[in-house]
Amino acid sequence: MNFRETLIDSTGTKICLSIWENSRNCPVVIFIPGTMVHPLFYEEFLVRLSQKGFTVLGVHPISHGKSPREKRLYSFDDLKQNVKDTITYAHDKYSTAVSLLGDSQGGILATAVAAEDDRLTAVFSHNIMIPQLPETIGLTRFPRFLRHMQKQALWLVKAGGKILPGLQLPYNFYLEPERVTSSPELQRKIDHDTLFLRTYPLYFLATLFNADMSGICDGSIKCPVIAIVSSGEPLFSFDYTKLVFAKIKAPVKEMLVFDLPCHLILNECVDVVLEPIANKIKQYMDGQPATAANIQPSS
């Protein structure tokens, strides 16, 4: 199994792609990593996914991972464009079916891009979000009473992004680390990962928290959407994911449910999730999707 990296043009700079290449005619899965991390953080999962018969392109978004660290500010729209440019690269290079697979923040990006790009065969999102829902405050460490002032809270974040756009904030400013992972081994890996971003500029967080996700609810998505869910998820709760999932409009949508108690299932539970996810990707990439929205538990 060949592994290589390449730089492509995107958003006025270069971004890095980590590529686990299979045969030229294999379906392509574009993988989008989570908050502040990079594809190599998921290397075991992505290597084994490629061995299931896919070419995997791991996106290092602007200023993330092995992409050049830019001094300029970047936005949620920039990360979406990174994904769209990777889709273009995949179609030009491989001329085969292309899908998106995103984890956490990458899952949010995947569904957002699916609403704006009709070149996808399917999108697989582990975690989905609509910032404007009052319940979204429950994803953060901010007080729950703010759900009753959701619009005002989003406005304050947006204003802060304009007043202090370059203010650097660690992820534990808005996320509870113990809800991200309770694994000491994985936390040590994060702590010693030199490619892991330690902060985001407030400008980026303002664009993330105010992202317009209306496209996932208005019929703009033209491909199947498969939500990958953990019933015991400590960060994106099962109830929250079901709430967002119900609002998604797509030709076909499906929920792939695992009975797992952790957020980073693609890192902590590879042996459990790999086969069902690979089989589900193959099903849709082969053009044999489910015929209606449904929930299919897996464990």
Tell me what pLDDT residue 114 has. 98
Is residue 297's pLDDT more than 50? Answer: no
Mean pLDDT in residue range 279-285: 96
Tell me what pLDDT residue 299 has. 39
In sequence order, what are the residues at sequence separation of 6 or more whose Cβ sits closer than 8 angstroms to the Cβ of residue 297? 231, 257, 258, 259
Burial code (b: 16+ CB inside 10 Å, e: under 16) for 148-168 equals eebeebbeebbebbeeeeeee
Is residue 108's pLDDT more than 50? Answer: yes
Q: Percent of the chain, pLDDT > 70?
A: 94
Mean pLDDT in residue range 254-272: 97
- Nearest CA to 278 out of 45, 52, 122 is that of 52
Tokens of 134: 């009052």
Query: Do 115 and 216 touch, CB atoms closer than 8 A?
Result: yes
Tens of pLDDT, residue by residue over 26-62, are 999 999 999 999 999 999 999 999 999 999 999 999 9
Tell me what pLDDT residue 42 has. 98
Q: Mapped to the 3 state alphabet, what secondary structure does 17-82 carry? A: EEEEECCCCCCEEEEECCCCCCHHHHHHHHHHHHCCCCEEEEEECCCCCCCCCCCCCCCHHHHHHH
CATH fold of the domain at 2-130+212-298: Rossmann fold (3.40.50)
Distance, CA of 142 to CA of 256 (rounded, Å): 29
Total-model pTM? 0.94
Tell me what pLDDT residue 290 has. 56
Band of residue 286 on the pLDDT scale cut at 50, 70, 90: confident
Is residue 255's pLDDT more than 70? Answer: yes
Tens of pLDDT, residue by residue over 218-237, are 999 999 999 999 999 999 99
Whole-number mean pLDDT of the chain? Answer: 92
Distance, CA of 204 to CA of 70 (rounded, Å): 13
Tens of pLDDT, residue by residue over 124-165, are 999 999 998 999 988 887 767 666 677 787 888 899 999 999
Residue ranges per structural domain of the chain? 2-130+212-298
Tens of pLDDT, residue by residue over 183-225, are 999 999 999 999 999 999 999 999 999 999 999 999 999 999 9
Tell me what pLDDT residue 269 has. 97
Distance, CA of 247 to CA of 216 (rounded, Å): 8
